[in-house]
Amino acid sequence: MNKKETIFVGVSGGVDSSVSLAILKEQGFNVVGCFIKTWQPDFIECTWKEERRDAMRICASLDVPFITIDAEEEYKNAVGMYMVNEYKAGRTPNPDVMCNKEVKFGVFLKKALELGAEFVATGHYAREKDGKLLKGVDDSKDQSYFLWTLTNEQLKKVKFPIGHLQKSEVRKIAEKYNLLTAEKKDSQGVCFLGPIDMKDFLGHYIEVKVGDVLNTKGEKIGHHDGALFYTLGERHGFTITEKGTEDKRLYVVGRDLEKNTITVSENINQTKESKNKIKIQSINWIKKPEEGKTYEARIRYQQKLEKCKIKGEFVVFENEQSLATAGQSVVVYDGEECLGGGIIV
């Protein structure tokens, strides 16, 4: 790649994007730091201005041009309202997947190319090679799961400068450049919405209806804020009132939206919805899998990869999957390569 080519780098005010910017500048590219302004509803404490300030300071310390790209409208509609509508429909969406599709590699990529960039770069722990998407080297941070909606053409315009690094190495590089984000904690929460409680956010759009928490025998043992708000495998946000002397951690293993109940168990795999054949929709194959060939896939972030085969719109696992939740993503791998995936029906 010609080192004089221009790369617009998404800088969020965090350490990963800061180091991505520093690496590309050191490699000799024309880099521009870009803060992507997203939507925050009025009832959430404003955090984007502080993050933007940190991003500006990083760019100033590296002597890099800085611009702000406004993606507020796209983020509100394609991520925020998407989440609300999916929960209303009884599904559990994955906002990070949609944020990458519609914002970072949607409006950001489009506007960057319009403004003269040849490429965009982000601080994702993933790798790109000749239009292929590969897992990040740091297994504990690999984010390819959230990038399955990208296309070959998009990937040819994308760079992941830290995908070959361990998180500890990224921190050391930040220290080397005296970046103010070197010891900054990683952001938590939903993409750019900040560290908010999901139920608090949804409660502004969906009526909260208190319901019963049941054990696997169907006995009432507590209460919750509304079955719509919970996903299989969740272990927080409900209240147990019938406690024993040796209580263990409880997981949501079932939901009845009509009766507004959730069922919990000490065994996370005790869901009534276990199955090995999972139907998917909104399918995107970066590289189309061969029918009959054995691959690996996961149905939630950082889940252990499970062997499977692809049969049309179905992913057929060798083992039953107990936490397959409508609205979540199934992402398929061939070794290190992410082939793409789809949304669970």
> Catalytic pick from 59, 191, 308, 338?
191
Q: Is 191 designated active site?
A: yes
Architecture per CATH, domain 275-344, reads as: Beta Barrel (2.40)
What does pLDDT average to over the chain? 93
**pTM (two decimals):** 0.92
Closest CA to 317 of 288, 297, 334: 297
Q: How far is CA 249 from CA 70, 177, 243, in A?
A: 43, 43, 12
* Contact in structure between 124 and 163 (CB atoms under 8 Å): yes
Question: 6-198 has which CATH code?
Answer: 3.40.50.620
Q: How many other C-beta atoms lie within 10 A of the C-beta of residue 177?
A: 19
Say how many residues make up the chain.
345
Q: How many other CB atoms are found less than 10 A from the CB of residue 274?
A: 15
pLDDT at 253 over 50: yes
pLDDT of residue 168: 96
Summarised one tens digit per residue, pLDDT across range 283-323 is 999 999 999 999 999 999 999 999 999 999 999 999 999 88
CATH 2.30.30 boundaries in the chain? 207-265
**Cβ–Cβ under 8 Å, residues 54 and 11:** no
* Radius of gyration for the alpha carbons in the chain, expressed in angstroms and rounded: 21
Mean pLDDT of the 203-230 span: 94
> Quick one: fold of 207-265?
SH3 type barrels. (2.30.30)
Q: What is the pLDDT of residue 1?
A: 52
pLDDT tens across 117-173, in order? 999 999 999 999 999 999 999 999 999 999 999 999 999 999 999 999 999 999 999
Q: Secondary structure of 118-130 in the HEC alphabet? A: CEEECCCCEEEEC
Active site residue 59: no
Angstrom distance (rounded) from CA 284 to CA 331 = 10
Closest Cα partner for 220 from 268, 246, 248, 256? 256
Q: Choose the catalytic residue: 34, 99, 308, 338.
A: 99
Q: Is the pLDDT score of 245 beyond 60?
A: no
pLDDT at 265 over 60: yes
CB 16 within 8 A of CB 127: no
- Residue ranges of the chain assigned to CATH 3.40.50.620: 6-198
Residue 317 bridge partners (DSSP):
308
Residue extent(s) of CATH 2.40.30.10 domains in the chain? 275-344
